C-alpha cells in the first residue's frame, strides 16, 4: 500500500536517477528519507489470504483465473486495492485512515465484498499464515519474482525462498513513524512486541501437507532466509533507528538490478553488499548505483519492522476474520496509546528477542503467555464497543494459552487437512 501520499514521496525524492558517489552518500540518503517526523494516528492495514478452489483444495488457481475474478470485483467500499502475491494469494491493501477503528471497519467491508465476488467464481479466500496443503508454486509471472527465485536458489535458500513467496500470508500493519524525538522508543517497542504478538497470532501449524512442528511455520520460513535481509533491523542499543536502517541496508546483499528502461530485472547471484556497489568495489550492470537503485534495493529487504517513512509491521500471521480486528487493534493500541505503550514495554522486556521460541511454541512459553495477557488486557480495556466481540474472543484465547494455530490444528485432526481447508474456504468457522 501507499501509506504516504505519492506526491509527498516524490517531492521528497525528486532526483532518484542521481548516481551515488559512495556508501556514505547512500547512508545519508537512507537516513534522510526512512522516517517522517510527525504525529501518530494514521493506520493502514494489509490482509493476505490464500486462494483455493472450493471444490478441489489441492488445485492452485492460475494467474489468469485469479485476475479475471478480480476484474469482476466492483469498487470496494473501504477503498482497498487488490494485488496478487507470487503464489496466488490475494492481498487487500487499505488506505491510511485516522485510527484503528475506521481502518478495521473499512477492511472488514472490503473483505466481505471480495469474499462474495470470489465465491461467485467458485474460489475461497483462506486466512492462514501458511498454505497447509499445497506444495510451493509460483503463478505470478512477474519478472521480479522470477529473478527472486534465481537469487534464492543461488544463495542456497531456494526451498525457503519459494515457501516465503508462494506459501505464506500475513496481516501487515502500517503506522506513522511519529515525532522524531520518539523514534528510538517507538521502533524499539515495535520490535519488542514482535515475539509476543507472534505468539498471540500464530496461525500456521501446517505447511505443504504436514504439521510443521511450529505454531507459526510462516515465521520459521522467514527465519531460514538470510538474516542480513530478513532479520530485525535494531542495532546494539536501538538509539538511532535511521542509522540502524542505513547500516542494515548497506550490509544487505543486492538481490536484483532493476532496469525499467529495458523492462528487465536481473538477479545478482553472488554476494554483493550494497555498500560495495555504492563504493565502486563491484560494478553491477556495468555501472554504479543510482538513488533509484537504492530505492529498489530497499524494497527487497524484508525485516519484521521496515521503515518506509512510516513503520511497516510485518511479523503477524494471517488470522481468521473473527480475531484479526482484535489483533490489529491490540498492536496499534500498544504502539499509539502512550499508557498502553508503557505497559507493553514493561511486559515484553524479558521476551523481546524470543522470536523463534514464540514461533515454535507460542503461548506455551510461560513468559510469552504472561506478556501476552498483559498486552491484550491493556488493549481490551481501551477497545470500543464495535470491537468488543472480537476482543473478548482474543482475550479468552490468550487466557487459555491458545492461538489460532491451535484451533486450526484441532479442525485438521478432526476432519483432515483438505476438508479443513475447504471448510475455511467456504466460510465455515
List Cα–Cα distances, 125 to 47, 87, 212, 420, 424, in angstroms. Answer: 11, 13, 22, 13, 8
Q: In the chain, what is the greatest distance between 2 CA atoms, to the nearest angstrom?
A: 61
pLDDT at 263: 85
pTM for this model (two decimals):
0.95
Written as one string, the DSSP assignment of 11-67 is: HHSTTTTSBP-SHHHHHHHHHHHSB--S---EEEEEEEEEEEESS-TTS---HHHHH
* DSSP secondary structure letter of residue 237: S
pLDDT at 167: 98
pLDDT at 15: 46
pLDDT at 7: 32
**Cα pseudo-dihedral 382, 385, 390, 396, rounded to 10:** 60
pLDDT at 364: 97
Angle at 129 between CA 105 and CA 348, to 5 degrees: 80
Task: Report CA torsion sign: 29, 251, 241, 301.
Answer: positive
Burial of 65 (0-12, 13-18, 19+ CB in 10 A): middle
Task: Report CA torsion sign: 93, 352, 238, 184.
Answer: positive
Rg (CA), the chain: 21
d(CA 285, CA 266): 9
Q: Which of 189, 178, 204 is nearest to 316 (CA)?
A: 204
Grid coordinates given for 376: 491484550
Q: 388-399 vs 324-336: helix axis angle to the nearest 10? A: 90
Mean pLDDT of successive 10-residue stretches along the chain, which has 429 residues: 40 62 97 96 98 97 98 96 98 98 98 97 98 97 95 94 97 98 96 98 97 98 94 82 96 94 91 97 94 97 97 98 98 98 98 97 98 98 97 98 98 97 90
Amino acid at each position: 500500500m501507499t501509506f504516504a501520499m505519492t506526491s509527498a514521496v516524490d517531492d521528497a525524492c525528486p532526483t532518484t536517477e542521481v548516481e551515488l558517489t559512495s556508501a556514505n552518500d547512500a547512508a545519508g540518503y537512507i537516513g534522510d528519507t526512512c522516517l517522517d517526523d510527525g504525529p501518530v494516528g494514521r493506520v493502514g492495514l494489509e490482509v493476505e489470504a490464500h486462494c483455493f478452489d472450493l471444490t478441489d483444495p489441492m488445485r492452485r488457481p492460475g494467474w489468469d483465473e485469479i485476475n479475471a475474478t478480480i476484474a469482476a470485483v466492483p469498487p470496494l467500499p473501504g477503498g482497498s486495492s487488490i494485488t496478487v502475491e507470487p503464489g496466488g494469494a490475494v492481498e487487500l491493501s487499505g488506505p491510511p485512515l485516522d485510527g484503528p477503528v475506521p481502518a478495521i471497519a473499512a477492511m472488514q467491508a472490503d473483505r466481505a465484498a471480495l469474499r462474495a465476488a470470489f465465491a461467485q467464481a467458485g474460489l475461497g479466500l483462506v486466512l492462514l499464515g501458511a498454505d497447509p496443503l499445497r506444495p510451493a508454486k509460483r503463478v505470478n509471472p512477474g519478472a521480479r519474482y522470477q529473478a527472486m527465485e534465481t537469487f534464492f536458489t543461488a544463495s542456497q535458500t531456494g526451498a525457503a525462498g519459494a515457501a516465503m513467496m508462494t506459501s505464506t500470508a500475513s496481516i501487515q500493519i502500517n503506522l506513522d513513524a511519529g515525532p522524531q524525538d520518539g523514534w528510538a522508543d517507538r521502533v524499539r517497542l515495535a520490535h519488542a512486541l514482535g515475539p509476543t504478538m507472534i505468539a498471540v497470532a500464530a496461525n500456521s501449524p501446517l505447511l505443504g501437507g504436514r504439521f510443521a512442528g511450529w505454531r507459526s511455520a510462516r515465521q520459521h520460513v522467514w527465519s531460514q532466509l538470510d538474516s542480513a535481509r530478513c532479520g530485525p533491523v535494531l542495532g546494539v542499543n536501538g538509539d538511532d533507528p535511521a542509522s540502524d536502517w542505513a547500516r542494515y541496508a548497506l550490509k544487505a546483499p543486492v538481490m536484483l538490478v532493476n532496469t525499467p528502461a529495458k523492462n528487465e530485472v536481473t538477479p545478482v547471484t553472488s554476494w554483493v553488499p550494497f555498500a560495495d556497489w555504492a563504493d565502486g568495489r563491484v560494478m553491477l550492470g556495468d555501472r554504479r548505483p543510482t538513488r533509484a537503485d537504492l530505492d529498489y534495493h530497499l524494497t527487497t529487504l524484508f525485516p519484521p519492522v521496515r521503515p518506509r517513512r512510516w513503520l511497516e509491521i510485518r511479523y503477524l500471521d494471517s488470522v481468521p476474520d473473527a480475531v484479526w480486528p482484535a489483533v490489529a487493534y491490540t498492536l496499534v493500541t500498544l504502539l499509539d496509546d502512550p499508557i498502553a505503550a508503557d505497559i507493553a514495554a514493561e511486559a515484553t522486556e524479558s521476551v523481546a528477542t524470543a522470536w523463534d521460541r514464540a514461533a515454535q511454541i507460542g503461548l506455551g512459553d510461560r513468559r510469552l503467555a504472561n506478556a501476552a495477557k498483559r498486552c491484550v488486557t491493556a488493549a481490551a480495556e481501551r477497545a470500543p464497543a464495535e470491537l468488543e466481540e472480537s476482543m473478548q474472543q482474543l482475550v479468552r484465547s490468550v487466557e487459555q494459552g491458545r492461538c489460532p494455530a491451535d484451533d486450526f490444528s484441532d479442525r485438521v485432526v478432526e476432519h483432515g487437512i483438505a476438508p479443513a481447508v475447504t471448510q475455511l474456504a467456504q466460510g465455515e468457522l
